[in-house]
A and B are shown apart, each in its own frame.
Chain A
Amino acid sequence: MKNMKFIYKPLFIFLALLTFGCEDSIEGINTNPLAATVIEADLLMPQVLVGGFSANRTVELNSMNMHSQSWSATVGFGVFVNPERYNISANTTNNVWVGQFTTALRNLLQMRRLTEANRPDATNIIGQAQVLEAFAYLNLTQIFGDIPFSEALQVEDFPNPKFDTQEQVLRGIPTLIDQALANLANETDIVEDGDLIYKGDRESWIRFGNSLKLKALMLIANVDPSSVQSAIQAVANQPLILDASQDAVLNYTDAAGNENPIWKTIDQFGGGVNTFWGAGIPLVNIMNSNSDPRRATYFDTNSSGDYVGQAQGVFSTTGVSTISLNIIRPAMPDRYATAAETNFYLAEAALLGYISGDANAFYRAGISASLNSYDGAPGQISQADKDAFLASSRGSITSDTEAVALRKIHEETYVANFTRAIESWTDQRRNNVPTIVLPTGAVLTDFIRRYQIPLSEVTSNPNAPEIVPLTTPMWFQK
């Protein structure tokens, strides 16, 4: 048994070592080596813009171009037939909701928190985040109507955010933008490289903020002008996006993996040839009656050399003008806010007396901005064509009655909003211009006016409202 002792002793030492050693080895390994706990706020902005906003503003919400009837699908695949006939996929509404509320707004919240914690002096970054937050809420309310706003994104205080009415959201957005503008007032560190829109140009962000504010106010003014008249005048005096070069745009690129998803759809399914989408009848009709030079930019002619639209709910390429590859191309931009839009809102505000200023000048600036937005891109409009169009009767509202002038402003808004799916549908609903017809085979008895709040929200948030029918008008509609 002497041998035994010789064995026991090291054995017990070994056991003791093993026990304490093993227990120690449990701690300190639970940190993900492939993730960071602190980063520069700058690194979050590309995710907000590309994954949060544009991923769903492009292909996911492209159906809104059909709802405004500026586009019309020309092939009868389910993915085109269903939304055009107002049968909206639950995946679409879910992706949009999640993309805006979590990918965009959560990362914007973290941008602010990281900046407050680590670079409290860099208020410009907070200002950039707040402008984009305003843009997210503006996107959301245009799609869903009532949404959480005052209690959204404050999970510690409001785990189940209540829904605010669209009116409350629209009236709250200018306040949010005012905070942003205060944070952008003085030059500090700002997101530069990660700012895929303006590369950190503070002045541009101020213009973007003011332009979004004007848009929110003009949506309110459509139903309650007196309450926002002075606010509209105030913002009209601030720097705004008035020239196409100032547009807030996310530019996709020609690089593989960075192309616009709408282009990718025809690239991957149609071999880079567009047989999927054609012109909408109301849009083509307006442009034809004005010999609009943008027709050749927007559309291919049909086999007879004409610009002809396709009725909604009908699917055929025969005799229809398809949308040009000038438009649907890898680097097709997603236009968040444009000079055309701002100028047309100002033209309407001036025309209706909300602000001082020359409605006609704003109107012509709006048309110019739209014509100029293709400069340097395929389908660029020649100076001669621009001049001719502005010189035509279409280029002026000075001799028109207020009603005709307003209609021209709204029609030009509609033409300029081409490919801006949410905005095109919003302005059509706001202005009731142009007149649209119920699609063939529509599953609703009236026009679609909103999307449904996704089931995931309804089932997880006790404060979610009852489901509202898709035909119920938005608050901003009259």
Chain B
Amino acid sequence: MKSKLTWMLTPLLALIMSFSFAQEKTITGNVTDQSGLPLPGVSVVVVGTTSGTQTDFDGNYSINANVGQKLRFTYIGQKAVEKTIGSANTISFSMEEDAEALEEVVVTALGIERESRTLGYAVSTVKSEDLNEVRETNVLSALQGKASGILISNQSGNVGGSTRILIRGNSSLSGTVQPLFVVDGVPISNDNIATGSRITGGFDFGNRAQDINPDDIDTVTILKGASAAALYGSRASGGVIVITTKRGKKGNKASVSFNSNFRFDTPLILPDFQNSFASGDDGVYDFDQLPNEQATSGWGPSFSTLGGQTYRDIDGAQKSFQAVPGNLNDFYGTGAVSINSVTVSGAGDNGSDYRLSVAYSDQRGIVPNSSLNRTNIGFNAGREFSDKFISRTSFNYIRTTTGGTARVGANDPNVLTSIVNFLPRTTNFASFRPYKDSDGNQINLPGGQQNNPYWVAFENAPEVNVQRFFGNISMQYLPFEGFDIIGRAGYDTSVDKRFIKNSIGTVGRLNGNFTDDWNDTSELTLDLIATYNKDLNSNFNITTRGGMQWNARVFESLTNTGIDLTVPGLYDTGNAATNNVSKGFSERRIFGIFGDITFNYKNWLILNATGRNDFSSTLPVNNNSFFYPSVSLSWVFSDALDITNDIFSFGKIRGSWANVGGDTGAYLLDYNYNPDNAFFGQFGTGGTYPFDGQLAFDSNGFITNPNLKPSNQENYEVGLELGFFKSRLNINATYYSNLTEDDIIFVPTPQTSGFASFLTNVGGVSNKGFEVDVNALLVKTEDFSWDVVANFTKNETIVEDLSGLPGGALNLATEFNGIAVRAVEGKPFQLFGTRFARALDADGEEIEDQILVDADGIRQIGQPGELGTIQPDFTMGLSTTFRYKGFSLSTTFDWRQGGKMFSNTVGALRTSGLAVETAVDRDNLFVDPNTFVDNGDGTYSPNTTPIASTQRYWQQYASASIAEGNIFDATFIKWRELSFTYTFPTKALENTPIKALQMGIQARNLAIFNSEVPHIDPEASIGGAGSQLDGIERGSVPSPRSIGMNLTLNF
């Protein structure tokens, strides 16, 4: 390490040296690896100068130097070579592999760098080039399929929408399962702040991890287990995503890099509509009413029987009945995304380095009038003032403007998908244009109390503006050999301003209203860490660390809703009949002290122990302190037993154990009376307080608990890491088990107690799983290489203990019509809702395979019950890259097997008679197979009555009140990424100022295979990033498929 540093510093002497006169000549040569294959990209530097070059694709180089000077050749994974220039003009040789240098350095908790081989637990690291193989505005989407142990789901196709990430399963009943995000050692916010309810006409404005510029990221390290994350304390129970940003590289002169990416988005999957039946009821069309005013959108007569007849359309014209296949494609536009970035980086001669990046993303979504603009400015610099003082700083400023995010959920006139998905098949979207007249009134309404979808998209588009700053400053002091102390201050603040409006004339909000919702989030983290590293003898090394961390998080909001507007288009408080203002505030702090000790014997046996004690402001004073230890052991048996050979190159066994605690939210200990400012009313008929001049307070709906104690998670894992064929095939396997106990959750009480819930420590949830990462360099020749990276994860979440709760079960989150995600003792998390009525056995228990029908042969509403688990059986990711000379072809697949989901969209497409499957054989009144009839005397007979009508069959089978018919297997394989890139050879650029040039074609989310969910993307969900409403879909916006181009230039 020391010699490396020296080498990196040597070019700083360059200026002085270059003034000396000497006999200069051109040295050429060829560099190969051990097996004689040429090594492209080997760095060649004249020691003590700034002059340097790289070998080309054939391993050739050419450099000017003086006799007596030294050339230094370096290449990743190879031992550095120095050659003194003598009389010869050619220097060619083979480099040797350097086992030590292959050791990956991993950034672990608190920004501590450790060699991968010394870790006693599993981490996954995704490097910049893998992350940005196909450019993506959201770093979480870019991680999909690239690491084991994590499950990442895009919640909707909205631009800037949220992404849910689960590391090693859902470890909590409380819903706080999102991992902690850490950038350059400092935690930053990944909040997903809701304006209103997500269920009733809410917005998915996304979680804030999307603010990070993927281009600034050097590595993403995923700390999956409690042992890995233990030093982060209570906030790390959902794992940690550690992001290290790029720095100016020492030894490099200033370089400028420019990257430009452009892509087009189209909907990946749209509902598969029937094109044979008009709107109407029971095969009859009511000619007095518009197509969209019929009782249903798809149960009218078939177009073939309507031949010659005409209907009155919304423009008043008489038109002949005819389906408009693919009409929804006309509504969704082609989205366009451009991401441009410029980076300037380098290192000075005085121990300083810098990197400045500016990126601008401009995205137009597939939903009309939806857009996202984002500017990222990142600065990262370090300076060594002396060999005792080092300082680093990084700052990020991000400004994001999102417009036209489509509402999700229901019970709001602006839920676009619930308008456009359910229009009659005769609908031509061109007939909704124009959507307003010259006076600004809404025209060309579809009828049926629905708004013109373009009116919703253009006149009621919400706007969100987020300005965020995060950064940190650190000072490191190294007073003597082996000891250093680092102080670091990190700050993350964002101002998130949302503007939501209903223009005057919006059906359902005819008088117009608007909401300004301003949210201010800030987080301050102070760290002080001292490290002492000592070689006791040549075999034995001890590293000890001690430190403290202080973290404060503050959230403030101010929201005003102005109702009943007078002048159209004027969203000022003075133009509203009533303004309803509300405030929000919360503050929480954690103070932690920690210690860490590592014993290293011969670098093949490493024992690490950590301990941290946290004090949390959110817990009762007498219970606010909690300690958690971790121990991990790494044994590199291949070195210990010295058994490496040409086939077996590396072997390591590791194990770890940890116990971490957790706190809860702010202000949950006092029983409070809250000033209230609004009351609920179905269909948006709610109103505001004060009422008739009187204030209204509301008492807390939950019961507080003064004896709350920290939650607890115990975790162990064992792993095996193997390398074969000179580490061309590497296998990394982990088995883990963790158990969360005393989770702090709101347990629902019977509402007849007067309360909705009580806050308490309850339950135990275990996650046991198995992860394997395999990477293989299958072929490597002079010009061609083929590598494969695969990961496999099987996680099983089991609710171990809900002692004391009625029925041993607990609804974690509930959506419309009682469909819920439910924790049931002894089982993985379940979907829960109403099932079909079934026959009962002698004990009054339902007989699973005897579904009952009524006298009309139609299924009936039965009792609520479990509908299957939301948990996948396993997930797999597969990436592979082919390289031939300058060409590179790379692709990633993401496979999620098993787990159930509930789709309201599918149900509604079926009950309305619009789904293609509802048009099959409508006149065939079949007998619902394997159904039974109740004989009324406790016996049941097989049903022989055909269904009364296809309409009634589907309306009951897919009814919103019966969840069972709308449950699907959520399995899918997604073709996530495909890129084809050409890197121009250095020779071709010799006479240009360009150092490197790369061009490529890229695509994301190309296709879904193997999905059993019709009409929608099985990845969609209503809940958002931090919610437990996983596996429940309603009104989701289609997800995009992207195809585009990328250009990278380095100067």
Contacts and interface: CB of A to CB of B under 8 A. Distances in A.
B323 to A, nearest CB: 23
Q: Could you say which of B477, B673, B699, B751 has the most chain A C-beta atoms within 10 Å of its C-beta?
A: B751
Nearest to B676: A47
Given A7-B479, A27-B621, A55 B679 contact: yes
A407 B599 CA distance: 95
Contacts of B287: none
A194 B694 contact: yes
Contacts of A97: 751
Given A7-B479, A15-B528, A92-B682, A98 B864 contact: no
B698 A103 contact: yes
B617 interface: yes
Q: Which size bracket describes the interface of A in this complex?
A: 35 or more
Interface string B659-679: 000000011011111111001
Contacts of A79: 683
Given A79-B683, A196-B692, A268-B684, A161 B752 contact: yes
A330 to B, nearest CB: 10
Interface string B601-615: 000000000000001
A77 B507 CA distance: 14
Given A30-B617, A30-B667, A101-B752, A77 B448 contact: yes
Contacts of B687: 50, 257-259, 261, 264
Interface in A437-451: none
A202 B510 CA distance: 42
Given A32-B672, A106-B699, A257-B578, A264 B681 contact: yes
Interface string B797-836: 0000000001101010010111000000000000010100
A50 B679 contact: yes
Interface string B227-266: 0000000000000000000000000000000000000000
B750 interface: yes
A50 B510 contact: no
A321 B587 CA distance: 58
A165 interface: no
B584 interface: yes
A457 B696 contact: no
A31 interface: yes
Interface string B679-703: 1111111111111111111110101
A22 B613 CA distance: 13
Given A107-B699, A161-B753, A462 B589 contact: no
Contact of B692 (A154, A253, A269, A271): A253
Contact of A35 (B672, B703, B754): B672
Contacts of A36: 672-675, 697
B749 A60 contact: no
B748 A43 contact: no
Contacts of B624: 26-27
B698 A461 contact: no
A267 B510 CA distance: 7
B56 interface: no
A265 B683 contact: yes
A109 B754 contact: yes
Interface in B756-808: 756, 758, 806-807
A460 interface: yes
A44 interface: yes
Contacts of B448: 77
B580 interface: yes
Given A268-B508, A268-B510, A159 B753 contact: yes
Given A19-B593, A91-B682, A158 B694 contact: no
A36 B671 CA distance: 9
Contact of A29 (B589, B694, B697): B589
A196 B583 CA distance: 26
B943 to A, nearest CB: 18
B385 interface: no
A459 B809 contact: yes
Given A59-B683, A90-B817, A464 B696 contact: no
A159 B690 CA distance: 33
B753 A155 contact: yes
A196 B695 CA distance: 11
A35 B680 contact: no
Given A51-B698, A255-B578, A467-B863, A59 B961 contact: no
Contacts of A460: 748-751, 806, 811
Interface in B627-658: none
A105 B748 contact: no
Contact of B674 (A34, A153, A155): A34
A117 interface: no
A366 to B, nearest CB: 29
B679 A43 contact: no
B685 A268 contact: yes
B689 A46 contact: yes
Interface in B857-915: 863-864
B591 interface: yes
Contacts of A95: 680, 682
Contact of A37 (B586, B618, B671, B753): B671
A216 interface: no
A27 B621 CA distance: 7
Interface in A143-163: 147-148, 152-155, 158-161
A457 B673 contact: no
A10 to B, nearest CB: 13
Nearest to B620: A30
A311 to B, nearest CB: 16
B585 interface: yes
Nearest to B550: A22
Contacts of A37: 670-673
A55 B686 contact: yes
Contact of A456 (B588, B696, B814): B814
A256 to B, nearest CB: 3
B120 to A, nearest CB: 29
A451 to B, nearest CB: 14
Contact of A26 (B578, B589, B685, B689): B589
A196 B690 CA distance: 12
B99 interface: no
Given A35-B673, A36-B672, A269-B449, A90 B818 contact: yes
Interface string B555-566: 000000001100
A25 B691 contact: no
A140 B755 CA distance: 16
A59 B680 CA distance: 11
Interface string B701-713: 1010000000000
Given A460-B748, A460-B749, A258 B688 contact: yes
B847 interface: no
A33 interface: yes
Contacts of A106: 699, 701, 754-755
Contacts of A158: 753
A33 B758 CA distance: 22
B295 interface: yes
Contacts of B479: 4, 7
Given A256-B563, A257-B688, 15 more contacts: A25-B589, A30-B617, A35-B675, A44-B698, A60-B681, A90-B817, A102-B756, A105-B754, A152-B752, A153-B754, A160-B753, A257-B580, A268-B683, A268-B684, A459-B807
17 contacts: A29-B589, A32-B667, A37-B673, A39-B697, A43-B697, A50-B679, A50-B689, A60-B681, A75-B449, A92-B682, A95-B682, A102-B755, A103-B698, A159-B753, A257-B688, A456-B818, A459-B809
Interface of A: 4, 7, 11, 15, 18-19, 22-23, 25-27, 29-39, 43-44, 46-47, 50-51, 55, 58-60, 75-77, 79, 81, 87, 89-92, 94-95, 97-98, 101-103, 105-107, 109-110, 147-148, 152-155, 158-161, 193-194, 196, 251, 253, 255-259, 261-262, 264-265, 267-272, 454-464, 467
The 6 closest A-B pairs by CB, nearest first: A257-B688, A256-B577, A461-B750, A261-B685, A35-B672, A32-B667
